[in-house]
Amino acid sequence: MPSESLDGELLKALLDESSLPRAVRGVANNLVELLLQTLSKIPSQDLKFSPPPHFHSALGSAAKTVKFSAPDRVYLVGSAVSGACLKTSPGTGFAVVDVAVEMPKGYFQEKDYLDHRYHAKRLAYLEVLQQHVHRAGWVASVALSAHHADIRKPCLLIRPKKPSGDVCLRLLLTARANAFPASRLLPDKANLRQLEAAGGGDGGNDRLASPHYNQSILEDMFLDEHIKFLRDAAQKAEFLEEACVLLKVWASRRGLLSAPDGFTGFVLSMLMAHLVSTGSKLSPLMDALQLVKCALTLLSNPAMSSGGFWASGAQPQNNMGAWRSAFPFVFVGPCGFVNIGARVSKSAVAEFVHEAALSAAVLERGGRTAFEQVFLVSLHPAARYDVHLHVTVDRNGNSASGNCDTDMVSWRGHEAQASDVVTNALGARAKLIRVQHQPFVNSSDVRQSHQDLVVPLPTKKRKSTEQHDAEEESDDMFTLWIGIILDPENAFRLVDLGPSSDDEKLAKQFRAFWGDRAELRRFKDGRICESVVWDSVPSSQRHHIPALAVEYAVKRNFAAAESVGWSCSLLDPALGVTGKEEDSYKESSPIALIQCLDRLAKRMKEMKDVPLKVINVQPLSAAFRGTDPFPPRPHQLAFGAGIGLGRSNEHMPVCPRTLEVLVQLEGSGRWPENSAAINKTKAAMALKIAEQLRSSYATPTVVSEEAIDVLHEGYAIRLHINSTAGGANNEAAEKHLIKGAAHSGVIATVSARFPAYGPATQVAKRWISAHMLSSHMGDEVIELLVGYLFLHPGAAEPPTSREVAFFRFLDLLASHPWGVLPLFVDPEDEVTLESMHELEKKMDDPDAPAMCISTPYDSSGDLWTRRGPFAVVLKRAQALASRAAERLKVLLQGCNRMASAKPDIDGVKLGDESAWESLFTPALMHYDIVLKLRRAALPFPEHALFTGKQIKRRLVKELGVDSDTFQMAEHGSKRGLKLARMPEKVLTRGPDKARAAMLIGFDPLQCFLREAERRLGGTALIFSDKHGGDLIGVALKPKLAHHRAQLPASLGDFDPLGDFNPPAPPGVDEILDELLYVGNGFIQDAYKGAKW
């Protein structure tokens, strides 16, 4: 084990945290002794049993009798024997230790391997054990569970009483190796009578092979050989147990363990043992990290997985082709009869190979955080898959636990069929497709069986809440989850190209699959092919195309499907995307805005009658790079010479937003040295440019003391003059402007490189603003946080959908140790280890900002965070992000009983119109004062997420006040500001008068916040939503934090003739009155918090 490196220290700490302690293993051994004593006391008896309903088609319902006798052996098996067991089984919260109970050979007859006879007798035997174990004094509870969610293979979950309560014994029934002839259970053998009809044989003598059914018996017969194989391999390789634990931790972090159709801890341990035993790539002399790294590299090769594995010493008992045709993943155990990976599905193999390839690449690349990214970061399916779909299956033809009418349990058949349909529908659009029974997504199969298989044990009456939870889970039991990782190059194409019309067979299959969506088309290159075209989808909803294709294909080709819900539209309402705003969407797109700016820049560069020529025009606003949630729309009055007045007057705001641009002038040595003089000179330059545009092109301009706005093609473009070419003095005066331009360039590069970056950043900004944090966390900070997710995705693919990017954003904000470690946004990987260590040391400074984000243009990392967010605000943001991430994970993956935390989302499911609301609804209960603004006084009230009635209901619910006791603003007036729409009487005066009435770039909310903060003197924190939100939250600082604040005279006593006495902290009523005074005509209502 490496011990002189950071990775070695992290590895040691991880193994200590994840491995089952020796003391717990001792407890497990003691429990096995108690179990042996309990089971050995069971007397022999004639056991009468009736097959359960899922076996009726094979065995009928008539009662049967069999001779029961006590087990031959009871012994510990699995990873707990060798020390490779995890301390906590994924999805359970406790350690699960496997115990084998061997049934006597005389219990079975010679032909019991046919038609589920073995499984029915096995269940009857287990029922007897359950009844006796339940009465044992050391047992707290015993429950029936479907092992690997296979209803044919139940097991017992035994929870002992304290102090051994952190261990769960999973009782697995086994049979002797010679119980049945193994040659009759090979993959090409048929042992199920109900498969006759499917076989189509004359007289019913020909049957289809039943490979999965056969393996369910063989795995019980040869468990001992597998345990011996593991033990022998561990003796050869010193660090094999640690490597197995590390590999299981890696798989658990990604939700790969315990899926009924996926890789289990046992399969991974056997794979590691096999790779070490062969000695081809993995040497027994390697340490744990080297073993796992090499194993991931080998297993990431699809050819390796598809070729199959033969355990060392195994003698082929059949040709490899028969194994490969029967199972997607072949790993024949040392006995030569058992496929250890028989339950692993095709989609699970593809998922494992994909994740192994990503992790192996990170480890091969190395770096300071490689070990952390691969083994310490949790990558749930919600964080890995771009598109999530929930397919509801018809209840009439299915049961919650599945049925046994075919070779596989019905749910495995549904998963395989759905996987094939989705794969065919998406083609090159997807890199990976994973289909699972929803209750087991990122969960565990260690749970009580959903369906009663035996007579219920005598217990106390269950609580109504438990019954309610069971009813809720019943809905999930009839749902398939589909996860898709998209290929960004092909995911959103408009045409799915099919076979040529000359290939009649393939063309017929294509038309049968797509039905009415298929059409024959001639393309520009002369080809005539079948195709599916999605050009009817609006531009604003192109990200829906993969889900639309899957939904159509599933409903047409998967008969069991009832409904399909998908995630692509989940966050659309937060951005106001409805598909009806097609024209405005195109006009405000980054491409259209850049083209508009290029035309203006061309005119500016061609000017001759200016003191200094314009050499470049650089966009600064977020709308140019596609990260503005609500980019400016063309304004009817912002066109030249009356152009644009023919447009609709429905949306004509009084305060159009500006597009900020940087105008770079040529160099000159005649600039003044004083910063104030430089600013005056730049203003004169801007005036000259505006005059030239107005005289040469009739371009309207609006000149004010603060800025100069050019009204060009419907947009108000605000000019910022850059004179850095004039010398060092100019550069110092424009430092912040230069940094802003550098930031804009970096973000524009990221946005161009990753198509999903822009929409993802829009969602993140809207979420920050919806929770009233926008006044504390700047847009630049959010853009850098989201950019980090795309530039440094770790051991995952960069996001291709806004949903997965939003989830990762919430997780990053909630989990990153901001007070200890800076965040390095490094597009070109130029940051050195020395600079990282130096910046980390600065984080120990008491005056260091709460959040530090280092960039190529800001190595200190505090350019955008120097003035916020403060530590208390960041802590609130982290709590909100953590809760939202958990809710989003439940929406995307589906809810299950094994979740450690079950957020209240009021039964909302993926696909519901209101699913997004639980993520964006602000929490008001912790504020001391809540202000309700006049919507008419806001420039863009249509951007608000919630209606006035919804806001009022939330105020009543969270603040605990009656609607009749709301306090009206003392100085409020019904004739307050009205900025939402240009008045009709102004428009009738003509375009020039109407243009003069515009308040370009005016934001009343920001004006109110600045004045309120000035007058409150730092005694409170103010929270607001800048995107149309009509609520403001005020949180009073604790007395220790504001007792020395510099208060204005309105909030403190000041005697100019005597000694100054520090004023007492103002009360909530005083602050409320002050805010009402400042917001006269802007504030509608004011409410005190519930604690007041």
Measured distance CA(1044)–CA(1038) in Å, rounded: 12
Which residues 6+ apart lie within 8 Å of 580 measured at CB?
none
Assess whether pLDDT exceeds 60 at residue 842: yes
Over the stretch 123-137, which tens digit does the pLDDT of each residue have?
999 999 999 999 999
What is the pLDDT, as a whole number, of residue 533? 95
- Average pLDDT in the 326-340 region? 92
Q: How far is CA 653 from its chain centroid?
A: 37
Assess whether pLDDT exceeds 80 at residue 350: yes
Tokens coding 579: 């598909």
- Average pLDDT in the 556-575 region? 92
- Cβ neighbour number for residue 981 with a 10 Å cutoff: 16
What is the pLDDT, as a whole number, of residue 641? 60
What is the pLDDT, as a whole number, of residue 460? 45
Q: What is the dihedral of CA 633, 627, 663, 1004, to 10 degrees?
A: 60
Alpha-helical segments (H) within 558-589: 582-587
Over the stretch 420-433, which tens digit does the pLDDT of each residue have?
999 999 999 999 99
453 falls in which pLDDT band (50, 70, 90)? very low
Measured distance CA(446)–CA(258) in Å, rounded: 8
Higher-confidence residue: 958 or 878?
878
Over the stretch 401-418, which tens digit does the pLDDT of each residue have?
778 888 888 889 999 999
Cα four-point dihedral sign 289, 290, 292, 297: positive
What is the pLDDT, as a whole number, of residue 906? 58
Strands 331-332 and 708-712: unpaired
Over the stretch 484-542, which tens digit does the pLDDT of each residue have?
999 999 999 999 999 998 899 999 999 999 999 999 999 888 899 999 999 899 988 99
DSSP state of 858: B
What is the pLDDT, as a whole number, of residue 1053? 47
| Buried b / exposed e along 439-464 (16+ C-beta atoms within 10 A) | bbbbbbbbbebbeebbeeeeeeeeee
Assess whether pLDDT exceeds 90 at residue 852: yes
What is the pLDDT, as a whole number, of residue 204? 47
DSSP state of 840: H
| Backbone dihedral region for residue 1056 (phi beyond 0: left; psi -120 to 50: alpha; all else: beta) | alpha
Give, in degrees to the nearest 5, the angle at Cα 578 between 573 and 579.
145
Over the stretch 231-244, which tens digit does the pLDDT of each residue have?
888 888 999 999 99
- Which of these ranges, 162-166, 181-185, 370-374, has the smallest mean pLDDT? 162-166
Assess whether pLDDT exceeds 70 at residue 560: yes
Phi, psi of 1020 (to 5 degrees): -150, 160
Tokens 């984080």 -> residue? 843
120 falls in which pLDDT band (50, 70, 90)? very high
Measured distance CA(487)–CA(489) in Å, rounded: 6
Q: In DSSP terms, which residues pair with 434 in a beta bridge?
A: 483
- Average pLDDT in the 811-835 region? 91
Assess whether pLDDT exceeds 50 at residue 901: no
Closest CA to 746 of 678, 682, 826: 826
Tokens coding 4: 């002189």
DSSP letters, 765-802, are HHHHHHTTBTTTS-HHHHHHHHHHHHH---SSPPP-SH
964 falls in which pLDDT band (50, 70, 90)? low
Measured distance CA(479)–CA(554) in Å, rounded: 13
Higher-confidence residue: 304 or 344?
344
Most confident of the ranges 3-17, 141-155, 962-976? 141-155
- Which of these ranges, 54-63, 543-552, 699-708, 719-728, has the smallest mean pLDDT? 719-728
Residues across the chain: 1092
- Which of these ranges, 50-54, 163-167, 407-411, 573-577, has the smallest mean pLDDT? 163-167
Phi, psi of 207 (to 5 degrees): -125, 155
Q: Percent of the chain beyond pLDDT 90?
A: 52
Q: In DSSP terms, which residues pair with 531 in a beta bridge?
A: 497, 519
Q: How many helices (H) and strands (E) does the chain have?
A: 37, 28
Higher-confidence residue: 1052 or 819?
819
pTM of the model: 0.92
Measured distance CA(65)–CA(80) in Å, rounded: 36
Higher-confidence residue: 417 or 1068?
417
Over the stretch 65-102, which tens digit does the pLDDT of each residue have?
999 999 999 999 988 887 788 888 887 778 899 999 99
- Average pLDDT in the 297-317 region? 81
Most confident of the ranges 189-193, 946-950, 991-995? 189-193
> Residue 390 belongs to what H/E stretch?
strand 387-393
- Cα atoms found within 13 Å of the Cα of residue 482, Cβ hemisphere only: 32
Q: What radius of gyration do the chain's Cα atoms show?
A: 34
Measured distance CA(680)–CA(82) in Å, rounded: 79
Assess whether pLDDT exceeds 90 at residue 774: yes
Assess whether pLDDT exceeds 70 at residue 902: no
Assess whether pLDDT exceeds 50 at residue 276: yes
DSSP state of 108: S
Peptide bond into 869 cis (omega under 30): yes
Measured distance CA(265)–CA(248) in Å, rounded: 6
Assess whether pLDDT exceeds 80 at residue 1056: no
Cα four-point dihedral sign 937, 943, 948, 953: negative
Measured distance CA(310)–CA(349) in Å, rounded: 17
Strands (E) located in 787-869: 823-824, 853-854
Assess whether pLDDT exceeds 90 at residue 1042: no
SS3 197: helix
DSSP state of 617: E
Over the stretch 881-896, which tens digit does the pLDDT of each residue have?
999 999 999 999 987 5
- Which of these ranges, 92-101, 229-238, 724-733, 785-794, has the smallest mean pLDDT? 724-733
> Residue 252 belongs to what H/E stretch?
helix 240-253
Give the CA diameter of the chain. Answer: 116
Strands 853-854 and 823-824: parallel
- Average pLDDT in the 629-647 region? 76
- Average pLDDT in the 433-461 region? 67
What is the pLDDT, as a whole number, of residue 658? 94
Strands (E) located in 21-105: 45-49, 64-68, 73-76, 95-102
- Average pLDDT in the 475-486 region? 87
727 falls in which pLDDT band (50, 70, 90)? low
What is the pLDDT, as a whole number, of residue 899? 42
Assess whether pLDDT exceeds 90 at residue 756: yes
315 falls in which pLDDT band (50, 70, 90)? low
What is the pLDDT, as a whole number, of residue 1054? 44
Give, in degrees to the nearest 5, the angle at Cα 226 between 221 and 231.
145
Measured distance CA(1022)–CA(773) in Å, rounded: 9
What is the pLDDT, as a whole number, of residue 2? 41
Strands 967-968 and 929-933: unpaired
Measured distance CA(619)–CA(169) in Å, rounded: 64
Tokens 């996926």 -> residue? 262
SS3 710: strand
What is the pLDDT, as a whole number, of residue 645? 52
Measured distance CA(708)–CA(718) in Å, rounded: 6
CA distances (Å), origin 482, targets 423, 554, 735, 843, 877 = 11, 11, 50, 43, 31
Assess whether pLDDT exceeds 80 at residue 911: no
Which residues 6+ apart lie within 8 Å of 6 measured at CB?
368, 371
Average predicted confidence (pLDDT) for the chain:
86
- Cα atoms found within 13 Å of the Cα of residue 244, Cβ hemisphere only: 35
Asked whether the beta carbons of 720 and 737 are under 8 A apart, the reply is yes
Tokens 């809720």 -> residue? 472
Q: How far is CA 415 from its chain centroid?
A: 22
Alpha-helical segments (H) within 515-563: 545-557
Measured distance CA(779)–CA(698) in Å, rounded: 34
- Which of these ranges, 184-188, 811-815, 945-949, 962-966, has the smallest mean pLDDT? 962-966
